[in-house]
């Protein structure tokens, strides 16, 4: 895949699985391609220790959330199957009108860590907290992300969308994305600008230091597999 940022979760809560898929597509595009093709063609796929099966509740797009999600079919099949695999009890099938399926679609850092590990990736750094903002010094936090990005590592971040939008802070507004450089820091006015991979495109975020500090839950930095 030439542009991993095109992987799109649509109007679903599959952001945790999307960042794992983007990481895979970035470092192993052939592996990503084979995972989707095998999943769609045969109903199952495997990459290293990561095994997927496509369930009927995900395939049945006439009754699940696929149409309302406005998501590419291949992304739906892969991301929904990944989400379903991550759950130990509640199955995920995308019927978002049902409370238990909304719950089963929720993403947590542990799910992302486990998925990346089974795919064969290693972490370079991890301070992600699923419940509380990190609230560390902003220049040093963003500098860590930017340094990782410039060294061909993948900084997966967890933020609350209130960082760049209006509204009340809510744990349901937490969102996984991938830091993508474009960093500009205005120390005098305590503001910064950077970009992320999310929702199938590159989004630019401009916010105050305080908005970043209060809505940044840390990162998982994935090592470049080709680095010695």
User: What pTM was computed for the model?
Assistant: 0.93
Q: In whole angstroms, what is the distance from residue 175 CA to residue 198 CA?
A: 9
Q: Output the pLDDT for position 169.
A: 54
Mean confidence (pLDDT) of the chain: 91
Nearest CA to 171 among 132, 209, 199, 210?
Answer: 132
Q: Output the pLDDT for position 152.
A: 97
Q: In whole angstroms, what is the distance from residue 41 CA to residue 43 CA?
A: 6
pLDDT band of residue 1 (cuts 50, 70, 90) is: low
Q: Output the pLDDT for position 171.
A: 55
Pairing of strands 216-222, 174-179: unpaired
Q: Per-residue pLDDT averaged across 16-39, rounded? A: 97
> What would the DSSP string read from start to end of 105-169?
T---HHHHHHHHHHHT--EEEE---SSS-----HHHHHHHHHHHHHTT-EEEEEEEGGGTS-S--
């Amino acid at each position: 895949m030439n542009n991993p940022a095109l992987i799109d979760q649509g109007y679903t809560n599959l952001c945790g699985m999307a960042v794992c898929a983007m990481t895979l597509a970035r470092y192993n595009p052939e592996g990503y391609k084979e995972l989707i093709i095998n999943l769609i063609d045969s109903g199952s796929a495997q990459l290293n220790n990561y095994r997927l099966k496509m369930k009927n509740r995900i395939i049945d797009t006439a009754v699940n959330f696929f149409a309302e999600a406005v998501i590419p079919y291949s992304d739906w099949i892969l991301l929904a199957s990944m989400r379903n695999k991550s759950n130990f009890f509640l199955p995920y099938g995308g019927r978002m009108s049902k409370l238990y399926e909304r719950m089963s679609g929720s993403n947590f850092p542990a799910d992302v860590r486990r998925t990346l590990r089974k795919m064969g990736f290693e972490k370079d750094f991890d301070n992600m907290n699923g419940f509380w903002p990190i609230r560390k010094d902003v220049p040093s936090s963003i500098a860590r992300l930017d340094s990782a990005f410039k060294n061909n590592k993948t900084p997966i971040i967890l933020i609350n969308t209130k960082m760049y939008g209006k509204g009340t802070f809510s744990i349901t507004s937490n969102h996984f994305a991938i830091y993508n450089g474009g960093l500009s820091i205005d120390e005098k006015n305590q503001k910064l600008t950077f970009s992320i991979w999310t929702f199938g495109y590159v989004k630019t975020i401009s916010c105050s230091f305080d908005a970043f500090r209060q809505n940044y839950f840390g990162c998982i930095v994935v090592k470049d597999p080709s680095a010695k």
